[in-house]
Structure 1
Amino acid sequence: MAMTSIKLKRILDERLLNENYRTSYNRSEDTYRIEWKESKQGMTIKLPSVIAKYNQRGERAIDELEDHIAEALRIMNQNYQLTGMEKNIYPVIRATSFPTETNLGAKLAYKDHTAETRVFYALDLGKSYRLIDQSMLEKEAWTLNRIDEIAAFNVRSLSNEYKQDTVAGNEFYFVATQDGYDASRILNEAFLEEMLANAKGELAVAVPHQDVLIFADIQNKTGYDVLAQMTMQFFAEGRIPITSLSFIYEDKKLEPVFILAKNKPRKK
């Protein structure tokens, strides 16, 4: 029989049975909420998207969701300190539309990056990570500048392996290690400068979602069209979408391509 929201709710209730949890189902929004009874911290699941995955992958989709929920709830119920965990702090790129506060009103630590993106900070916990909020900084008398320097240092320590492809006379490079910080490598200025030095044409950069960083050595007008289609597809398919726009990297600055396409003369 076909999976329905009610059936899925019952399955999750059974799998996540715990006297410390509270669950609820919102029929009008078709969502499932699970949270800690005491702190009320928790997460809301959109059931139609889970059903779609179930129809494609069967029980494995529910198994993975169960693991994800259990890990997320575990993280929410623990207190973490930053001192001594410096090597586990990384920057993460998010869209400017990404919330700057948690569901409980805690203000997240972040800084502006481009007109399309912001930099948040994550404490890596192995299977997952927790975004760092202002209260965590204040508790240990850390400044935003300090955590930014630590995160920037750590992202520079990551490997920069990529796969290469040639399309219509343009070279494309894809960083997709699946370590959770692929898009974060856009903050590694030395890496960007290296790619720029090796580019034959203009260097474009894109972070359509969290798990990919794209470089494009644009050598003809078709290159921009290919890159635009590519970033849109990645953006639509990404688990954590960031932006479908790409950027030109020049003079250590990132400028959206749609501005440059109208105003900037092409290099010959």
Structure 2
Amino acid sequence: MDSIKMKRELETRLAGKDRAIAYDREKDQLRIESKLVNKGITISLAGIVAKWHADKEKAIDEVVYYVEEGLRAMEDTVKLTDHEKKIFPVIRSTSFPKEAEEGVPFLIDEHTAETNIYYAYDMGNTYRLIDSRIMEKEGWQPNRIKEIALFNVRSLSTPLKEDQVAGNSFYFLNTNDGYDASRILNKGFLHDVEMKIAGTMVVAVPHQDVLIIADIRNDRGYDILAQMAMSFFANGHVPITALSFLYENGEFEPIFILGKNK
């Protein structure tokens, strides 16, 4: 599989009467636009080809799914009023775009040196990031959205799976509802976990669909967490950061762990 073959495969899978598909040979990118709203999604073919060599058809299926859902989200109308339960915070890296493609700024809050908080309108299988145009159209103020989003994230379930490795405890939250990393904003949940931590509490959000909480009791634990976070970061659909965060008294401090052991 190469970029040209991948381009042809995706063009076949994503074609439609309300779609416009363009290929940028120089950047090796494919852009799929909705003619209904004149908005679209640009994907890098090189990255997909690399994933195909590891996951085969699953890599293509995942790209098609996220493009389809992303375009549907662009085409659907966002209605905040009377749909408050659909508003949630989402965590993104600080390098994530600050504006929609049309230059409309997203609603963003700073979180840590590595992460920012965006706000989203849930649309079922996907969500749309809330921008200034949506707020203006709906007549909503930023603080109202932020308060509702933080309230809603506290209502999400927090099931944890625990693994013991080399004398350290690792807890994983992975519901695949799109807001796993967002649970890092649930202070009550983090406080409850902190009460059970015997060593040092370290938190990681390598991508949007996982939250890792580690009870580090020896130096080996830091190495293991670093390897876990990097692996999740490399394989996530929406990567956030491979760095981890020390958590103490409700505050996050990014730490760089230089792994030595495998």
* TM-score, length basis structure 1: 0.88
Q: Which residue of 2 aligns with 1:253?
A: 251
Residue 149 (structure 1) aligns with: 147
In the alignment, structure 1 residue 135 sits paired with structure 2 residue 133: yes
Q: CA RMSD in A?
A: 2.0
Q: Secondary structure at the match of 1:18?
A: coil
- Relative to structure 1, the CA distance from residue 208 to residue 68 in structure 2 (aligned partners, 3 Å threshold; closer, same or farther) is closer
Q: After the TM superposition, which of the residue ranges 17-26 and 107-116 deviates more from structure 2?
A: 17-26
Structure 2 vs 1, CA of residues 69 and 229 (structure 1 numbering), >3 Å: closer, same or farther? closer
Q: CA deviation at 1:241?
A: 1.2
- Specify the code of the residue in structure 1 equivalent to 2:119: Y
**Does structure 1 conserve the Cα–Cα contact (< 8 Å) formed by 2:119 and 2:130?**
yes
Does residue 164 of structure 1 match 2:168?
no
Other-structure match for 2:260: none
2:222 is matched with 224
- Whichever residue aligns with residue 75 of structure 1, its letter is A
Quick one: distance in 2 between partners of 1:132 and 1:250? 31
Rate the CA distance shift 1:239–1:85 in 2: closer, same or farther, 3 A.
same
Residue 238 of structure 1 aligns to which amino acid in structure 2? G
1:25 to 23, 29, 35: 23
Task: Spell out, residue by residue over 1:53-104, the C-alpha distance to the aligned partner (whole angstroms, 9 max, x if none).
Answer: 4445554544443343232222212321111111111110011111110111
Cα offset for 1:10?
A: 3.1
Gaps of 5+ in 2: 258-262
Q: Helix, strand or coil for the counterpart of 1:121?
A: strand
**Gap change, CA 1:256 and 1:63, over 3 Å in 2:** closer
| Partner Cα separation in structure 1 for residue 14 and residue 240 of structure 2 | 31
- Deviation of 1:214 (Å): 0.8
- In structure 1, stretches of 5+ residues that fail to align are 260-268
**Bigger radius of gyration, 1 or 2?**
1
Distance 1:219 1:45 in 2: 42
- Name the residue aligned to 2:196: 198
Q: Distance in 2 between matches of 1:33 and 1:219?
A: 48
- Distance in 1 (alpha carbons) for counterparts of 2:54 and 2:256: 36
Summarize the Cα distance change of 1:208–1:36 in structure 2 as closer, same or farther, 3 Å threshold: same
What is the Cα deviation at residue 19 of structure 1?
A: 3.3
2:107 alignment counterpart: 109
Query: Which residue of structure 2 aligns with residue 16 of structure 1?
Result: 14
Closer/same/farther in 2, CA of residues 54 and 41 from structure 1, 3 Å limit: same
CA distance in 2, matches of 1:62, 1:34: 15
| Number of equivalenced pairs | 257
